[in-house]
Amino acid sequence: MASYQPMTVADLAVHLAQTSDAKTRWKIFWEFLEECRWESPDTQTALLLGEPPSVGDERWDALLAALVEHLAAKHDLAPPDWADPRVLWQPWFPAELRVQRADALVHAPALSASTACT
């Protein structure tokens, strides 16, 4: 009998790549967050280690990078080097309501000078 192992961010990327259905992808994404939430702080940070493979969709690749940056910051850790180039140059709004889009634009971090388009 196999024992329970929480999903790593690399596992998450593999699962996301195996489906193109947005609804299923979001369910898998939230499952990762829920699993991570219940783990100890040491295990939480271990789940972020290792560069995930590409999902095959730059939007989801950027989302994974942002997720790892956010979770690493919660543990006072620097973001991994692999996350830096995974950015979107055009906004992606998974939310359907206009008010959510406006809120996202207001709260989105500005591009740093090192990542801004020239």
Look at residue 37 and tell me if it is in a domain. yes
Mean pLDDT of the chain: 87
* Alpha carbons 53 and 14: distance in angstroms, whole number: 7
Look at residue 104 and tell me if it is in a domain. no
DSSP character for 111? P
Residue 80 neighbours by CB distance under 10 Å: 17
Look at residue 109 and tell me if it is in a domain. no
More confident residue, 37 or 96: 37
89, 114 contact by CB (below 8 A): no
Domain count, the chain: 1
Does residue 118 register a pLDDT over 60? no
Query: Residue 116 has what pLDDT?
Result: 42
Look at residue 36 and tell me if it is in a domain. yes
Residue 69 neighbours by CB distance under 10 Å: 19
* Alpha carbons 110 and 17: distance in angstroms, whole number: 28
Domain that residue 72 falls in: 9-87
Query: Residue 53 has what pLDDT?
Result: 96
pLDDT tens by residue, 76-87: 999 999 999 998
pTM: 0.81
Query: Residue 108 has what pLDDT?
Result: 72
Look at residue 66 and tell me if it is in a domain. yes
Confidence at 109, pLDDT banded by 50, 70, 90: low
Look at residue 63 and tell me if it is in a domain. yes
Look at residue 46 and tell me if it is in a domain. yes
Look at residue 47 and tell me if it is in a domain. yes
Query: Residue 92 has what pLDDT?
Result: 82
User: What average pLDDT does range 5-30 have in this prediction?
Assistant: 95
CA neighbor of 82 nearest in space, from 109, 49, 112, 58: 49
Does residue 2 register a pLDDT over 50? yes
